[in-house]
Amino acid sequence: MRRRELVVLTLVGILLSMRLAAGPSLFVIRTFAQDAKSITPRITATEPAALAGGSKVIFKVRGFELKGATELRFVRPVEPGGTEPNAAPIRVEIKETKDAGQAKGLDNKVVGGTQLVADLTLPDDLPAGLYEYVIVTPAGEAKEKIRVLAPDTVVDEKESNNGFDEAQELMQGKFSLGSIQSDKDVDVFALPTRAGQHLKITLISGGPLLIDAQLDCYDSRRQFLAACDDEKSRDPATTFKTLADGVVYICVSSAHDIGGEWHSYLLAVEEVK
C-alpha cells in the first residue's frame, strides 16, 4: 500500500511540475497569438450588405488593418460541376483607405478601426451568387463573402417607411437593400401574400458585430405574427404561415434603437415549400 501511495504521489508531483512548467509558456503563446491576431487584416462590415448586378455602387468595408490596401478583387463562385474559381468581372477603383470613425456604443478594438472605400461597377449579366472578395494590404490579405443579386430582384429601401401607413411595398421573390440610417429608424415593408403560405423572412446584415437587427411581422389587421432578434448569429430570421389573403407587414429595426453608419442590411423573403 505504502509503495502504491508513493507511486501516486510521485505521479501527482510530476504532473504538477509539468503544469507549472507549461503555464508560462502557454501564456506566452497566447499573448503571441493575440499580437498576431491584432495585425492580421480582417473584415467586420460592409455597406451595402449585398451588391446588385448592373449597378455602380460605393462599397465601404470596415475592419482591422485595412489602411494602405492596394487591391480589392472579387472571385466568381464555382458553379456545380465547375472548375477552379476565377476573377469576377467587377470593376474596382479604390478611392481611399483610412481610420474609421468610432463605432456607436462599440469598441473599435472589437469592430475594427480602419476602412476602405471603393467604386464598383458590376455588369448587367453578372450571375447572382455568393462571391468571395479579397483585400490586399501591406499586413496581408483579408477575405470575406458578399451576395450578388440579379438586377431585377433588388429594391432599394426608401425612407420614409416608418410605420404601417407609409410601408414600402415588397413583392415576393424580391430583396430589399436597406439601412437603419439613424437611431430609432424603423423600416416597414408591406408584402402581399395569399392564405396558407409558409414564409421565411431573413435579414442579412452588412456586419452583425455593428448592427443587432430585429424583425417583427404583423398581418393585415396589424396583429402580431412573428418576431426574431437573433437566430444563428445576431442576424434575425423568422418563419410563419399566413392565415388569410392580405398584406404582411415586415418591420426592420435595431434591437437597441441604434442606427447610422455600418447599419446596412439585405432583407429576403422566400416561400418555404
Cβ proximity to Ca ion, 42 vs 60, nearer residue: 60
Rank residues 113 and 178 by Cβ distance to Ca ion and give the closer one. 178
Q: How far is the CB of 252 from Ca ion (least distance, A)?
A: 8
Q: Which three cell numbers stand for residue 145?
A: 463573402
**Pick from 185, 212, 216, 219: which binds Ca ion (CB under 5 A)?**
185
N residues, the chain: 273
Nearest distance in Å: CB 74, Ca ion: 27
The single-letter code of the amino acid at 50 is A
Residue 183 CB, shortest distance to Ca ion, in Å, is 11
* Coil, strand or helix at 169: strand
Closest CB to Ca ion among 135 and 180? Answer: 180
* Window 131 to 170, contacts with Ca ion (CB under 5 A): 161-162
CB 40 within 8 A of CB 139: yes
The grid coordinates of residue 254 equal: 435595431
Residue partners of 40: CB distance under 8 A and separation at least 6: 64, 65, 139, 140, 142
Spatial contact of 236 and 213, defined as CB atoms under 8 Å apart = yes
CB of 160 to Ca ion, least distance (A): 6
Residue 205 binds to Ca ion (criterion: CB under 5 A)? no
Binding site for Ca ion (CB under 5 A): 161-162, 181, 185, 187
